């Protein structure tokens, strides 16, 4: 298991090699965070640091302090951009904590850490973007004017916000966590030349999850017919989370089959899988894994 393959924290006695790894990885993470398209991969270095040192909380503290110092330092140079400074610090710090907990946390199964962390991250994300002075709205409006000049930016924003409120934010955060974690594991496996247990290949959905999935789907239909918006939003989120549980089970089946292959083959498939998820056919790939996860609820594949 992963916990058996990484060194355990030793209080305040941190080895020099581990400290250098964490500092270097934190620096790379800060660079990625503020470098255009690489910003979607800013959690990978932190995941690598936790995997190779075992210092989950120390890695988080170093990353959080680095981000705080950077943002406060930047605020003195460009004070006109300080409106959302503390909100940005809160958001990034929250994602640092949630992601490093997914990688290095214990006592709760990896798949459930994924679900809990993604739900918490989604709530934080919705709080951030629904403020009156949110940068998200201004950026979204600018993008809408560029790519869809004939459309009303406010209507597009409302449509996007409705999707995010109905499970879209949860899926977005979970996908970001999953991609960054898989690349972190692939990098650590390749550099350290050792197999790292992913913690997902043995995951099995709870027996009653299929009924929650069916019940939430029926509730979505009924609340949509009778226009009960609050209950509809809630049922949508339950439906999405239930579907993700079976999606994770489908991914677990794939990882179980890959565990019998060579390290090079696994890394190649992981990279290919992430590229597929980021491509237009990613929806079909996710749908296939979801169906695979549901099938195993009735016909155990791994057994």
- Identify whether the C-beta of residue 282 lies closer than 8 Å to the C-beta of residue 241: no
Say whether pLDDT at 269 is over 60: yes
Q: How far is CA 230 from the centre of its chain?
A: 26
CA distances from 144 to 127, 151, 153 (A): 22, 8, 6
Lowest pLDDT segment from 1-15, 22-36, 136-150 = 1-15
| Per-residue pLDDT reduced to its tens digit, 170-205 | 999 999 998 899 889 888 988 887 677 666 777 888
Instruction: Write down the domain spans for the chain.
Output: 1-122+170-198, 200-303
Say whether pLDDT at 274 is over 80: no
| Per-residue pLDDT reduced to its tens digit, 238-259 | 999 999 999 989 988 888 877 7
**% of the chain residues with pLDDT over 70:** 89
Higher pLDDT, 133 or 296: 296
Higher pLDDT, 261 or 88: 88
| Per-residue pLDDT reduced to its tens digit, 58-101 | 999 999 999 999 888 887 766 655 657 888 899 999 999 999 99
Euclidean distance between CA atoms 95 and 98, whole angstroms: 5
- Identify whether the C-beta of residue 47 lies closer than 8 Å to the C-beta of residue 180: yes
Euclidean distance between CA atoms 66 and 28, whole angstroms: 11
Q: What is the DSSP letter of 150?
A: T
Say whether pLDDT at 27 is over 80: yes
Instruction: State the chain's mean pLDDT as an integer.
Output: 85
Provide φ and ψ at 196, rounded to 5°: -110, 125
Per-residue model confidence (pLDDT) at position 13? 57
Looking at residues 96-107, what average pLDDT do you find?
Answer: 93
Band (8; pLDDT cuts 50, 70, 90): very low
Euclidean distance between CA atoms 43 and 49, whole angstroms: 10
Per-residue model confidence (pLDDT) at position 210? 92
Higher pLDDT, 176 or 158: 176
């Amino acid at each position: 298991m992963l916990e058996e393959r990484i060194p355990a924290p030793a209080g305040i006695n941190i080895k020099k090699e581990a400290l250098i790894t964490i500092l270097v990885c934190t620096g790379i993470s800060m660079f990625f965070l503020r470098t255009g398209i690489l910003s979607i991969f800013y959690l990978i270095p932190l995941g690598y640091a936790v995997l190779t040192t075992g210092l989950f909380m120390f890695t988080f503290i170093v990353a959080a302090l680095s981000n705080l110092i950077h943002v406060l330092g930047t605020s003195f140079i460009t004070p006109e951009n300080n409106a959302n400074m503390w909100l940005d610090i809160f958001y990034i710090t929250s994602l640092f904590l949630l992601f490093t907990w997914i990688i290095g946390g214990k006592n709760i199964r990896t798949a459930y850490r994924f679900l809990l962390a993604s739900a918490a991250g989604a709530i934080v994300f919705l709080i951030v973007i629904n403020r009156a002075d949110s940068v998200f709205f201004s950026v979204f409006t600018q993008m809408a004017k560029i790519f869809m000049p004939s459309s009303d930016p406010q209507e597009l924003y409302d449509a996007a916000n409705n999707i995010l409120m109905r499970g879209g934010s949860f899926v977005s955060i979970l996908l970001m966590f999953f991609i960054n974690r898989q690349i972190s594991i692939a990098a650590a496996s390749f550099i350290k030349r050792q197999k790292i247990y992913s913690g997902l290949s043995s995951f099995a959905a709870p027996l009653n999850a299929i009924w929650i999935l069916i019940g939430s789907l029926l509730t979505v239909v009924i609340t949509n017919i009778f226009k009960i918006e609050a209950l509809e939003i809630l049922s949508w989120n339950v439906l999405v989370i239930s579907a993700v549980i079976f999606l994770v089970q489908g991914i677990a089946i794939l990882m179980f089959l890959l565990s019998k292959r060579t390290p090079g083959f696994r890394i190649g498939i992981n990279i290919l899988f992430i590229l597929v998820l980021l491509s237009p056919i990613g929806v079909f790939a996710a749908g296939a894994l979801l169906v695979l996860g549901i099938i195993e609820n009735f016909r155990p594949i791994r057994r």
